[in-house]
Amino acid sequence: MTTVSLYVTLQWAIPHLLETTRSQSHNPAFLTTSGTLYRDPFPFLFSLSAGKAAQYNLMHSFHKKYEPQIHIACVPVGGFVRDDAKVTSARAVAGEFWKLYEQPKGKEGKVSVEMEDPDYQQMTEGFRKQVEGS
């Protein structure tokens, strides 16, 4: 998702989520996934890294503005989401989203929960070598 798309989606969703704040036992939530390139960019992935940094900052900005009425958070994932991943399986990522969603209403929740596959650095180094041809 591009940062502009995320921003437009947030602008659309916020009024609808604010309407639901009176009737739910949990905060309405706007949760998204991202990548850890926002904090550990690679020169050969500059554009993607810059986009992830912008998304991360956008989610943090909306979190500061709307917590605790709406829980706005992201789950940056370092590595591939796949069934055999040690940390970043789809089930594990979904579990982190569920924990974020279940945070009690009216209390400020976490803005970010990072997940990183133990093999992530090795994977990115291999990818870098392929891209750079070394």
**What was the pLDDT predicted at 106?**
66
**pLDDT (tens digit, 9 = 90+) per residue, 6-18?**
999 999 999 999 9
Distance CA 50, CA 64 (A): 21
Q: What is the pLDDT of residues 78-117, one digit of tens each?
A: 988 999 988 999 999 999 999 988 887 667 778 889 999 8
Q: Does the domain at residues 3-9+26-132 carry the CATH identifier 3.40.50.720?
A: yes
Task: Please give the model's pTM, rounded to 2 decimal places.
Answer: 0.82
Asked whether the CA dihedral 14, 9, 36, 88 is positive or negative, the reply is positive
Give tens-digit pLDDT for 41-81: 888 888 999 999 999 999 999 999 998 888 899 999 998 89
C-alpha 57/C-alpha 61 separation (Å) is: 6
